[in-house]
Structure 1
Amino acid sequence: MKIAIVTDSTAYIPEDLLEKYDIHTIPLSVVMGDETYRENVDITTEEFFEKMAQMDTLPSTSQPSIGDYILLLESLYRDGYTDVLSFHLSAELSGTYQNAVAAGRSVEGINVHVIDSQIACLVQGFMPLYAAQHKDSMPLEDIIAEVEEMKKKENMNAYLIVDTLTNLQKGGRLSNAQALVGSLLKVKPILEFQDGKIVPYEKIRTKKKAKKKVEEIFAEEVRRHEGKDITAAVIHSNVEEEGREWMNELQEQFPQVNFILSYFGPVIATHLGEGALGLGYTTYDVKID
C-alpha cells in the first residue's frame, strides 16, 4: 500500500511543510473581472490584494473542476499510489469536496478516501499534516478514524474577526444600511464554524475587544484540554505584522501551545476582506516545524 495525501489550496500549508511531508495540492480559483487565477499558482496573495483594492465589485471564487482532479489522481496512480487521503474545505462552503468524490469514482485502480474537513484555512491543513505524519506508522483505517475524530468541534475550531464589513456587503451577505451602521459603530463580528458553516458568534465594538474575547474563548479551551499538545494558528488577511504581534502575545499567555502564523489566501480573503484575523486550533499534536 502506498498512500498519497492530497488537500486543496485553501489549507494554506506552508511550502516547506508541503515538501517535507509530500502533500499534494489542487488549487481553487478567484475570478477577477475577465481573468481567472488559480491561487498560489497564477496569483500571489499580495497581488490579489492589490487587484482587489482596484475593483468596484467583489471577485468570485470557483472550485477545481472534476477534470482537474481526475488528472491529479491519474498522475498519482502512474506514480504507484494505491490509496489517496484527500482533505478539503467544508462542503458547506464549496463544491470542492463533492467534485473530489465524483473524480474518485471516475478513476480506476486507486482508492480515494475524501474527507470533508468542515473547516478551512490552515486549521483544515492540520488534518492532512497529521495524516502525512502518521501514514507510515499507522494503518489507513486508523488514520481515517483519527482525522474524523479530530475534526469534531471539541477537538478543532476557529474564530474569525472581520475587520471591515465591505466584502460581506459586496457579497450580498449584508445590506448597505447594515454595513454603514456597522462601520459607524466599529462593529467587529466574531465568526466561528458550526457543522461546516461559518456563523456569527458575537458582535464586538472594537477589534481590540474582539481579540480579547477570542483569547478568553481560547483560554477556556486550553484549560479544558489541559495536558494535551494543542496546535494553533494565528491567521491574518494582509496584515502580517498585526498577526505576528498577536501570535507573540498569545505565545506568552499560552507557552504550552504550539503556534504558527498563517494567512487568508485569495479564495477565503475574497469573503472576509482585508484586515481579518483568525485563531484556529486542534487538540491534536501536529508537527508544524
Structure 2
Amino acid sequence: MKIAIVTDSTAYIPEELLQKYDIHTIPLSVVMEGETYRENVDITTEEFFEKMAQMEELPSTSQPSIGDYILLLESLYRDGYTDVLSFHLSAELSGTYQNAVAAGRSVEGINVHVIDSQIACFVQGFMPLYAAQNKDDMSLEALIADMEEMKKRENMNAYLLVDTLTNLQKGGRLSNAQALVGSLLKVKPILEFQDGKIIPYEKVRTKKKAKKKIEDIFAEELKHQEDKNITAVVIHSNAEEEGRGWMNELQEKFPHVKFTLSYFGPVIATHLGEGALGLGYTNYDVRID
C-alpha cells in the first residue's frame, strides 16, 4: 500500500512543507474581469490584492473541475499510489469536496478517501500535515478514523475577524446601509465555524477589542485541554505585519502553544476582504516546521 496525501490550495500550506511531507495540491481559482486565475499558480496573493483594489465588482471564485481532479489521480496512479487521502475546505463553502468524490469514482485502480475538513485555510491544512506525518505509522483505517475525530469542534477550531465590510457588502451579504452604519460604528464582526458553515459569533466595536475577545475565547477553550499539545495559527489578509505582531503577543501569553503565521489567499480573501485576521488551532500534535 502506498498512500498519497492531497489537499486543495485553500489550505495555504507553505511550499517547503508541501515538499517536505510530499503533499499534493489542487488549486481553486478566482475570476477577475473575465480572466480565470488558479491561486498560487497563475496569480500570487500580492498580485490578487493589487488587482482587487482596482475593481468595482467583487471577484468570483471557482472549485477545481472534476477533469482536473481526474488528471491528478491518474498521475498518482501512474506513480504507484494505491490510496489517496484527500482533504478539502468545508463542503458548505465550496463544491471542491463533491468534485473530489466524483473524480474518485471515475478513476480505476486507486482508492480515493475524501474528507470534508468542515473548515478552511491553514486550520484545514493541519489535517493533511498530520496525515502525512503519521501515515507510515498507522493503518489506513486508523488514520481515516483519526482524521474524522480530529476535525471535530473540540479538537480543531477557528475564529475570524473581518476588518472591512466592503467585501461582504459587494458580495451581497450586507446591504449598503448596513455597511455604512457598520463602518461608521467601526463594527468588527467575529465569525466562527459551525457544522462547516461560517456564522456570526459576535459584533465588537474596534479591532483591538475584537482581537481581545478572540484571545479570551481561545484562553477559555484551552482551559479544558491542559494535557494536549496545542498547535495554533494566526492568519492575515494582506496584513502580515499586524498578523505577525498579534502572533508574537499570543506566543507570550500562551507559551505552551506552538504558533505559526499564515495568510488568507485569493479565494478566501475574496469573501473576507483585506485586513481580516484569524486564529485557529488543533489539539493534535502537528509539526509545522
TM-score, normalised to structure 2's length?
1.00
Distance 2:159 2:34 in 1: 33
Q: Distance in 1 between matches of 2:64 and 2:165?
A: 28
Give the Cα–Cα distance (whole angstroms) in 2 for the partners of residues 227 and 137 of structure 1. Answer: 23
Structure 1 counterpart of 2:186, which letter? Answer: K
Q: Distance in 1 between matches of 2:174 and 2:52?
A: 19
Unaligned runs of 5+ in 2: none
Partner in structure 2 of residue 94 of structure 1: 94
- Tell me the equivalent position of 2:202: 202
Give the Cα–Cα distance (whole angstroms) in 2 for the partners of residues 243 and 2 of structure 1.
38
The aligned residue for residue 282 of structure 2 is 282
Between the aligned partners of 2:222 and 2:244, the Cα distance in structure 1 is 20
Alignment of 1:14-29 (within 5 A): 14-29=14-29
Q: Which residue of 1 aligns with 2:81?
A: 81
Q: Quick one: percent identity of the two aligned structures?
A: 88
What is residue 193 of structure 2 aligned with on the other side?
Answer: 193
Deviations 1:149-174 (A, max 9, x none): 00000111110000000000000000
Q: Distance in 2 between matches of 1:187 and 1:52?
A: 23
Match of 1:220 in 2: 220
Aligned to 1:103: 103
CA distance in 2, matches of 1:10, 1:168: 19
Q: Which runs of 4+ in 1 moved over 2 A?
A: none
Give the AA of the match of 2:236. Answer: H
- Cα distance in 1 for partners of 2:124, 2:195 equals 14
| Equivalences for residues 44-55 of structure 1 within 5 A | 44-55=44-55
Query: Following the alignment from structure 2 to structure 1, what is the Cα–Cα distance between the partners of residues 126 and 75?
Result: 24
Residue type of the partner of 2:148?
Answer: E
Specify the SS of the correspondent of 1:224: coil
Is 2:130 the partner of 1:130? yes
Amino acid at match of 2:91: A
Alignment RMSD: 0.4
- Shift, 1:34, TM fit: 1.3
- Counterpart-to-counterpart distance in 1, 2:250 and 2:173: 31
Cα shift at 1:252: 0.2
Q: Distance in 2 between matches of 1:40 and 1:195?
A: 28
* Amino acid in structure 2 at the alignment position of 1:159: Y
Match of residue 38 from structure 2:
38
Give the letter aligned to residue 147 of structure 2.
V
Q: How many correspondences in the alignment? A: 289
- Name 2:70's counterpart in structure 1: 70
Aligned counterpart, 1:169: 169
1:127-276 matched pairs, under 5 angstroms: 127-276=127-276
Instruction: Report the Cα distance in structure 2 between the residues aligned to 1:254 and 1:145, rounded to whole angstroms.
Output: 30
**Alpha-carbon offset, residue 223 of structure 1:** 1.3
Tell me the TM-score normalised to structure 1 length.
Answer: 1.00
- Give 1:227 deviation, angstroms: 1.7
Separation in structure 1 between the aligned mates of residue 143 and residue 250 of structure 2, nearest angstrom: 30
Aligned to 2:119: 119
Instruction: State the Cα deviation string for residues 77-109 of structure 1 (Å, max 9, x = none).
Output: 000000000000000000000000000000000
Q: Which amino acid aligns with 1:287?
A: R
Q: Deviations over 1:117-168 (max 9, x none)?
A: 0000000000000000001111011110111000000111110000000000
CA distance in 1: counterparts of 2:155 and 2:136, whole angstroms: 23
Using the TM superposition, give the Cα deviation of residue 222 of structure 1 relative to its aligned residue in structure 2, in angstroms: 1.4
Looking at structure 2, the residues matched to 158 and 219 of structure 1 have their Cα atoms a distance apart, in angstroms, of 13
How far did residue 14 of structure 1 move? Answer: 0.7
> The residue matched to 2:84 in structure 1 has which SS?
strand
List alignment gaps of at least 5 residues for structure 1: none
Secondary structure of 2:75's partner? Answer: helix
